């Protein structure tokens, strides 16, 4: 028995209010909320991660400068080393041409590994249960 009465159709309608839906939502972790809302606490957490990544980059840059930058100094201070030949090729060419690439790959691998560890530590701080 269907009625086409507009009054009965209006009575069956349910009004949905966004505030009611938001009130039923499970409360988020406060740290994640701080990050999402860019509160001072969230900003401090992100700045800490950026600072850690920058410190890592600067340390490994110093390793590269020290590793590759001292070679020309070595050749200038000890000309005999610069004049040495291995398999008919000058030692400076071998060290700078072939030795530098594995060194740079190793430093790059170390950077990625340590940067991922920094990010995992950051994620662990965010996911830790509130105490």
Q: What is the pLDDT of residue 107?
A: 95
- C-alpha 18/C-alpha 24 separation (Å) is 10
Mean residue pLDDT across the chain: 77
Residue ranges per domain, the chain? 28-127
Helix (H, G, I), strand (E, B) or coil at 83: helix
Q: What pLDDT digit, counting tens, does each position of 98-112 carry?
A: 888 999 999 999 999
- C-alpha 109/C-alpha 115 separation (Å) is 10
Helix (H, G, I), strand (E, B) or coil at 86: strand
Evaluate if residue 10 carries a pLDDT over 80.
no
Q: How confident is the model at residue 127 (pLDDT cuts 50, 70, 90)?
A: confident
Q: Is residue 120 exposed (0-12), middle (13-18) or buried (19+ Cβ within 10 Å)?
A: exposed
């Amino acid at each position: 028995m269907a009625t086409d009465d507009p009054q009965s159709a209006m009575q069956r309608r349910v009004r949905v209010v966004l505030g009611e839906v938001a009130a039923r939502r499970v409360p988020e972790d406060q740290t994640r909320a701080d990050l999402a809302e860019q509160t001072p606490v969230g900003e401090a957490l992100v700045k800490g991660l950026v600072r850690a990544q920058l410190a890592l980059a600067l340390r490994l840059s110093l390793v590269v400068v020290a590793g590759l930058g001292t070679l020309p100094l070595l050749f200038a201070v000890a000309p005999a080393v610069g004049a040495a030949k291995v398999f008919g090729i000058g030692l400076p060419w071998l060290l700078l041409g072939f030795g530098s690439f594995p060194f740079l790959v190793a430093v790059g691998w170390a950077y990625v590994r340590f940067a991922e560890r920094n990010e995992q530590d950051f994620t662990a701080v965010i996911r830790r249960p509130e105490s």
